[in-house]
Amino acid sequence: MGLVLVQFLNALSFSALLLLTGLGLSVVLSLMNFLNLAHGSFYLLGSYVAVLWLGAGLPWWMAFPAAFLAAALAGALLERFPFRGFYGRPHLMQVLLTYGLSVILADLMRWGFGAAILSPELPEALSGVVFVLDMPFPVYRLFLVAAGTLLAGLLWWGLDRTLWGAVIRAAVADRGIVETLGIDTGRVLAAVLVLSAGLGGLSGALGAGMLAAYPGLDEEVLILALVTVVVGGLGTFRGTVAGALAVGFALTFSRVWLPELANGAAFAAMALLLMLRPDGIVAPRQRQV
Amino acid sequence: MQDRDRAGHAAAPRRALLGGLAAAALSHPALARPTLAQGAAGARPLRIGMITSLSGPFTALGESMRAGMNLFLAGSGRAVAGRPVEFLVEDDAARPEEGVRRARKLVGQDRVDVLCGVISSGVALALRDVVTEARVPTFLLGSANDLARKAASPYIVRPTKTNWMLGTTAARWTFERISKGRVLTAGSDYAAGREFVGDFAATYRELGGRIDRQLWTPLGSTDFGPLLTAIAAERPEVVYAFFAGSDAVRFLRQWKEYRLAGRVPLVGPGALFDQEDVLPAVGDAALGAVGAFHQSPTAPAAAAFGRAYAATGKPLPGEFSTTGYVCGQVIGAALERAEGDLSDWERARAVLFDRPVDTAFGRMPFDPRNGQAILDIHVNEVRRGADGKMVNTVLHTYEAVRDPGPAA
């Protein structure tokens, strides 16, 4: 019983990590229809910032806002040039641009942070365990679950329930009409991209405690995030949450029950899901004017 | 239209200037092609081509390998047996087809005299036929067992371990000193993991030990939680595990997070506790763990290399920096013994294998059947050093461990 429960918690914490990485990607994709393959680079940048921050002995909780700001700054610079010119272009062009950028960013980070595998010094408060029916479970993973839930909640509230969220959604639906209301939509879209980059960095900081940081992690994370977003359903917020849970539980329990075929079994299940529901678990409402 | 004209005018003199520079560079003696320098400068430079992973999953290891070789070359004044050395490095990205392409480039286009390197066993096995057909002496550093067995080649020298050497010695140590039963194995589910764990299990069972459970997890696992929870529920007496690179770092950190560190003895091949690539990133998670390895920063033979490596501002060396350095030492010895001429490889190979080479791995004799080094395998325990950092400390040494080779 304890074993099953802890495996359930393992799956939940892995889902939280997937949710954190998927959120940033899904925000630009669903709100701006912009496919950003450089998202993994923002994640890795956040990881490195958090590792260095924690290693320097500064207050540990500040590592997360620092990572958010660093990645958001990188996002703001890249938004000015060259992302801005590609919002209206087809996905293929965006893929070429952002994939190329991710390769350049990976080289820059290897040059700046070195090729060694780095991992953060977690504070006392986060490095303990709780015992679940006699089985140890790390506190850090509970922290991940809490952070993932909180961030997803905040984002949902901000985009779905506030005036700012309404402006963003309107700017995506019909830019022209929003412009006639006297709102600079260029700025709105820039803000969304910066937010997405910041979320990438923040998830990197949170994920570093579980995945460490090293060259090549950006691609691994990007693939997991893409799978999460696609399985959940492109363009919906609830979809990303559903996708993260589906992928997290499939990968964890395939490892428990079929360890030798783990990846194959999990991805076969996801492929089957996509064949049954080609638009993902939660199909987006078609917003058309 | 006007703009384009102006650009055209500006470009013309620039092109002329570049052409002039190129011509100047070509006529400069230091940059001239080596074949032109042959008569004038005496000895023709020896070209060593290295294929290693500078991108992809083994990036950190590849950087270390290159650093080790560069240190050897710098220490020998970039000349061996009176011949100046040119060193070229190509990146295989840990992909066999890329490795083959790079090897063909080094052999066909750069005309290297000697090839060396390789981390991924997949790349090493793919290169075997390429270098054998091209008849290029190759110092191959991958560690798949087959490289010393089915895939051995007269053109390949192997100045490093095979996976079998580490799996079997770990089993002997575990059986003799730790536990005779209730062992659980956990490994990365790919070729090297299967070999390390398989050879451990075979030897352990031959000695009369019992293995309770064998767990596998895909290479590049992001989350070891499910695996570690299964291990915690099993409560084994010993765990033998193999993971490498970033997997090793995640496994060990999570090993501690799930409170297994210090409760269950952990044994593995030394790569799981690599001094340079793994231990600095895992804090004290590996404290007390035991690894069977041909490399140890505390082995007497490695002392001189360790000092030289530290002088370049690097930490204590791990497997791949030492391997790169040793590879240089063996190439150096081959050249010295053949009086600087490897063109008659059959003879050069015979004189190289004639007597052992002194390297940072210790005295290294070669098995003439397959060109495989016969190595001392250390049992290292991860201990806290004087400065509080973790150090692989030699507990015991199994001397002259020899791969069964073609007999296996």
Which amino acid would we find at residue B270?
G
Q: Is residue A52 part of a domain?
A: yes
Q: Is residue A285 part of a domain?
A: no
Question: What pLDDT score does A282 carry?
Answer: 79
A254 close contact with B: CB closer than 8 A: no
Question: What pLDDT score does B33 carry?
Answer: 44
B401 neighbors B305 (Cβ within 8 angstroms): no
Percent of chain B with pLDDT over 90: 75
What is the token pair recorded at B321? 């920096």
Q: Is residue B332 part of a domain?
A: yes
* CA B47 centroid distance within chain: 20
Partner residue opposite B246 with nearest CB, options A137, A212, A252: A212
What residues of A are in contact with residue B232 (Cβ under 8 Å)? 135-136
HEC per residue, B91-113: ECCCCHHHHHHHHHHHHHHCCCC
A289 close contact with B: CB closer than 8 A: no
B226 close contact with A: CB closer than 8 A: yes
A55 close contact with B: CB closer than 8 A: no
What residues of B are in contact with residue A215 (Cβ under 8 Å)? 55, 59-60
Report the candidate in A209, A244, A213 with the shortest Cα–Cα distance to residue A41. A213
Pair (B116, B197) in one structural domain:
no
What residues of B are in contact with residue A116 (Cβ under 8 Å)? 60, 277, 280-281
B184 neighbors B238 (Cβ within 8 angstroms): yes
Lowest-confidence segment of B166-170, B217-221, B291-295 by average pLDDT? B217-221
Q: Is residue A262 part of a domain?
A: yes
Residue of A nearest to B215 (CA): A259
Q: Which domain range does residue B100 map to?
A: 46-160+301-373
Give me the mean pLDDT over the B141-150 stretch: 93
Give me the mean pLDDT over the B108-122 stretch: 94
What residues of B are in contact with residue A11 (Cβ under 8 Å)? 226
A14 close contact with B: CB closer than 8 A: yes
Contacts of A278 (CB under 8 A, 6+ apart): none
Q: Please, what is the Cα angle at A47 between A46 and A51, to 5 degrees?
A: 115
Judge if ipTM > 0.85.
yes
Report the candidate in A49, A45, A76 with the shortest Cα–Cα distance to residue A200. A45
Highest mean pLDDT among A257-271, B52-66, B376-390: B376-390
Query: How far off is chain B from A106, nearest CA to CA, in Å?
Result: 10
* CA B183 centroid distance within chain: 29
Question: What pLDDT score does A286 carry?
Answer: 55
Q: What are the counts of helices (DSSP H) followed by strands (DSSP E) for chain A?
A: 11, 2
Give me the mean pLDDT over the B189-193 stretch: 88
Cβ contact A210–B222 (<8 Å):
yes
Q: Is residue B288 part of a domain?
A: yes
Pair (B280, B388) in one structural domain:
yes
Partner residue opposite B223 with nearest CB, options A14, A127, A212: A14
A128 close contact with B: CB closer than 8 A: no
- The Cα–Cα gap between A26 and A28 comes to 6
Q: What is the pLDDT of residues A18-71, one digit of tens each?
A: 999 999 998 888 888 889 999 999 999 999 999 999 999 889 999 999 999 999
Question: Would the pLDDT of B168 be above 70?
Answer: yes
Write phi, then psi, for A257 (nearest 5 degrees). -95, -35
Q: Which long-range contacts (CB under 8 A, 24 or more apart) does A73-80 make?
A: A74/A41, A74/A42, A74/A45, A74/A197, A74/A201, A75/A42, A75/A193, A75/A194, A75/A196, A75/A197, A75/A198, A75/A200, A76/A190, A76/A194, A76/A197, A78/A38, A78/A197, A79/A190, A79/A193, A79/A194, A80/A190
- The Cα–Cα gap between A81 and B18 comes to 31
Q: Is residue B187 part of a domain?
A: yes
Q: Is residue A281 part of a domain?
A: no
- The Cα–Cα gap between A212 and B130 comes to 37
What is the token pair recorded at B363? 């005295």
Question: Would the pLDDT of B28 be above 70?
Answer: no
Pair (B83, B228) in one structural domain:
no
Q: How far is CA B322 from CA A253, B89, B276, B309, in A?
A: 40, 17, 10, 9
Chain A (135-194) residues lying within 8 Å, Cβ to Cβ, of chain B? 135-138, 140-141
- The Cα–Cα gap between B353 and B388 comes to 42
Most B CBs within 10 Å, among A21, A117, A247, to test the B interface: A117
Cβ contact A136–B232 (<8 Å):
yes
What residues of B are in contact with residue A138 (Cβ under 8 Å)? 254, 257-258
Query: Cis peptide before A82, with omega less than 30 degrees from 0?
Result: yes
Highest mean pLDDT among A206-210, B37-41, B53-57: A206-210
Q: Is residue B38 part of a domain?
A: no
- The Cα–Cα gap between B147 and B406 comes to 10
Pair (B126, B251) in one structural domain:
no
In the structure, what pLDDT confidence band is assigned to residue B1 with cuts at 50, 70 and 90?
very low
Pair (B117, B238) in one structural domain:
no
Most B CBs within 10 Å, among A8, A255, A258, A260, to test the B interface: A255
Residue B383 β-bridge partners: B391
CATH code of the domain containing A84: 1.10.3470
Q: Is residue B13 part of a domain?
A: no
- The Cα–Cα gap between A135 and B174 comes to 27
Which helix (H) or strand (E) segment is A109 a member of? helix A91-113
Q: Is residue A286 part of a domain?
A: no
What residues of B are in contact with residue A135 (Cβ under 8 Å)? 229, 232-233
Q: Is residue B204 part of a domain?
A: yes
Q: What is the pLDDT of residues A83-137, one digit of tens each?
A: 988 988 898 999 999 999 999 999 999 999 988 889 898 888 888 888 888 888 9
CATH code of the domain containing B143: 3.40.50.2300
Give me the mean pLDDT over the B372-397 stretch: 94
What residues of B are in contact with residue A263 (Cβ under 8 Å)? 218
Pair (B234, B146) in one structural domain:
no
Q: What is the pLDDT of residues A157-197, one digit of tens each?
A: 988 889 988 888 888 778 889 899 998 988 998 999 999 99
Q: Is residue B8 part of a domain?
A: no
Pair (B155, B212) in one structural domain:
no
Query: How far off is chain B from A216, nearest CA to CA, in Å?
Result: 6
Reported pTM: 0.87
Q: Is residue A141 part of a domain?
A: yes
What residues of A are in contact with residue B66 (Cβ under 8 Å)? none
Which amino acid would we find at residue A13?
S
Query: How far off is chain A from B182, nearest CA to CA, in Å?
Result: 20
Question: What pLDDT score does B21 carry?
Answer: 47
Cβ contact B229–A7 (<8 Å):
yes
What residues of A are in contact with residue B215 (Cβ under 8 Å)? 259
Lowest-confidence segment of A38-42, A70-74, B233-237 by average pLDDT? B233-237
Cβ contact B226–A10 (<8 Å):
yes
Question: What pLDDT score does B377 carry?
Answer: 96
Q: How many structural domains is chain A composed of?
A: 1
Cβ contact B254–A210 (<8 Å):
yes
In the structure, what pLDDT confidence band is assigned to residue B26 with cuts at 50, 70 and 90?
very low
Give me the mean pLDDT over the B108-123 stretch: 94
Contacts of A270 (CB under 8 A, 6+ apart): A227, A231, A246, A247, A250
In the structure, what pLDDT confidence band is assigned to residue B10 with cuts at 50, 70 and 90?
very low
Lowest-confidence segment of A110-124, B1-15, B205-219, B279-293 by average pLDDT? B1-15
Pair (B390, B248) in one structural domain:
yes
Question: What pLDDT score does A261 carry?
Answer: 79
Cβ contact A215–B218 (<8 Å):
no
Q: Tell how strand B238-242 and strand B290-293 pair up.
A: unpaired
Partner residue opposite A256 with nearest CB, options B63, B230, B283: B230
What is the token pair recorded at A53? 């921050």
- The Cα–Cα gap between A203 and A67 comes to 9
Partner residue opposite B59 with nearest CB, options A2, A127, A215: A215
Most A CBs within 10 Å, among B253, B256, B264, to test the A interface: B253
Most B CBs within 10 Å, among A1, A119, A224, to test the B interface: A119
A282 compared with B384, residue with greater pLDDT = B384
- The Cα–Cα gap between B350 and B353 comes to 5
Q: Is residue B262 part of a domain?
A: yes
Q: How many structural domains is chain B composed of?
A: 2
Q: Is residue A284 part of a domain?
A: no
Question: Would the pLDDT of B2 be above 60?
Answer: no
Cβ contact A115–B223 (<8 Å):
no
DSSP A118: B
Pair (B136, B192) in one structural domain:
no
A110 close contact with B: CB closer than 8 A: yes
> Alpha-carbon torsion A243, A248, A253, A254, what sign?
positive
Given its phi and psi angles, is residue B135 left (phi above 0), alpha (psi -120 to 50 degrees) or beta?
A: left
Question: What pLDDT score does B37 carry?
Answer: 40
What is the token pair recorded at B362? 């210790």
Q: Is residue A76 part of a domain?
A: yes
Partner residue opposite A135 with nearest CB, options B59, B63, B233: B233
Report the candidate in A142, A200, A137 with the shortest Cα–Cα distance to residue A3. A137
- The Cα–Cα gap between B105 and B358 comes to 32
Pair (B241, B328) in one structural domain:
no
Pair (B155, B168) in one structural domain:
no
3-class DSSP state for residue A142? helix
Lowest-confidence segment of B28-32, B83-87, B286-290, B370-374 by average pLDDT? B28-32
Question: What pLDDT score does B12 carry?
Answer: 45
Q: Which domain range does residue A84 map to?
A: 2-276
Partner residue opposite B225 with nearest CB, options A13, A115, A121: A13
- The Cα–Cα gap between B28 and B112 comes to 22
In the structure, what pLDDT confidence band is assigned to residue A285 with cuts at 50, 70 and 90?
low
B72 neighbors B321 (Cβ within 8 angstroms): no
Given its phi and psi angles, is residue A216 left (phi above 0), alpha (psi -120 to 50 degrees) or beta?
A: left
Which helix (H) or strand (E) segment is A187 a member of? helix A185-211
HEC per residue, chain B: CHHHHHHHHHHHHHHHHHHHHHHHHHHCHHHCCHHHHHHHHCCCCEEEEEEECCCCCCHHHHHHHHHHHHHHHHHCCCEECCEEEEEEEEECCCCHHHHHHHHHHHHHHCCCCEEEECCCHHHHHHHHHHHHHHCCCEEECCCCHHHHCCCCCCCEEECCCCHHHHHHHHHHHHHHHHCCCCEEEEEECCHHHHHHHHHHHHHHHHCCCCEEEEEEECCCCCCCHHHHHHHHHHCCCEEEEECCCHHHHHHHHHHHHCCCCCCCCEEEEHHHHCCCCCHHHCCCCCCCCEEEECCCCCCHHHHHHHHHHHHCCCCCCCHHHHHHHHHHHHHHHHHHHCCCCCCCHHHHHHHHHHCCEEECCEEECEECCCCEECEEEEEEEEEECCCCCEEEEEEEEEEEECCCHHHC
What residues of A are in contact with residue B189 (Cβ under 8 Å)? 259-260, 262
B217 close contact with A: CB closer than 8 A: yes
B43 close contact with A: CB closer than 8 A: no
Cβ contact B258–A3 (<8 Å):
no
Report the candidate in A234, A278, A210, A193 with the shortest Cα–Cα distance to residue A15. A210
Q: What is the pLDDT of residues B314-356, one digit of tens each?
A: 889 999 999 999 999 999 999 999 998 899 999 999 999 999 9
A232 close contact with B: CB closer than 8 A: no
Partner residue opposite B218 with nearest CB, options A115, A253, A262: A262
